[in-house]
Structure 1
Amino acid sequence: MLSEGHHHPYDLKKIFKKNKMDEVSEINDGKLYYNFESLLKKGCIEKIEVVREENRPERTVYGITDKGKDVLKEKIYESFTNFKGIRSIYSSVIFLKHTDLDKSAYMLEEVVNKLKEKITHYDEVWNNIKDKTPPSVHLITDYTHNQMRIDLAWLERVVKFVQNGLQLDGRSEF
């Protein structure tokens, strides 16, 4: 979020709540302030100014450093390399505009290819054992296969989004 502008931790907490991001990830004051301190020590962010509003305590406003921008890119790329499921790349998709889009598209295509291989493997295994399994397993397997196909379709859409310069249905991300 600091790559979008300068903020103090409480600002971010309000943004998370406003955009319902606090429902997707576990964000609490302790984690938020700890992460700011950690990023500051690593040189990824810097103190910009201390502000004080009427009847409010002082708040330190932070901004991202060049090192922080590089780390952000690497964390996004890392999330694609270590893909564990759609939720594991949510925040990376939000901040794609801070990456090399060609590299991101290539990495996402790799994720798509791995998921296609996984689906093919599951289909082969399932075809060999489905006649020997109870109906309850069929229900679970049907759900799993459908979910993988939904994930694949979404990932393919994300690849197109990146390849089109972060354009979706004629609307720009910027």
Structure 2
Amino acid sequence: MRTLTALGLTVLRLLTDRPQHAYELRQRMREQGLDQIVKVTHGALYNTVDTLAKAGLIEPVETIRNGRRPERTVYSITAPGRELARERLRELLVTLTPEYPVYCAALAFMSLLTAEDAASRLEHRCVLLEGRLAASQAEYDALTGRDVPRVALVEMRHLRAHLRADLDLTRALVDEIHSGRLELSGSAAVR
């Protein structure tokens, strides 16, 4: 198997709790807010489950049918799946992977806009970030209220820290544009 994807690692992690079928995995991802940090679509999830099963990292333990719903195969993690998940996690915790956020690209090319237009867009971004940060805080509070172990919430803390940093920087840029400390016109080469 090629490198274990974030979605594959998520599936293996959830299966360490108990055997589950793909639909249940999807529900648990939503409940735990994992769908906010790992891109998951219906097709990608089923493809990942199939890939993990073919690689022997998970195995079917039973097939169930509830009423008129289609059959669902319940999977459990295998010993090699558990070891690969640990191995990949060890690697991910120490690897600084280059990321290419779209916002960084937008900031790099902001000089294409007038100061007024850029400031207006950045102010709008601040409003959106404030909303997302508030929603993230509410979700975090709801999960802590359900006695979810703190270790299960560290990724939400990381996400909130990034949102706060993004908001702080964006506010600072707006202030710098309004004060004239950050000039945009004719400054494409200056950062």
- Normalising by the smaller structure, the TM-score range is 0.3 to 0.5
Give the structure-2-normalised TM-score. 0.44
Give the structure-1-normalised TM-score. 0.48
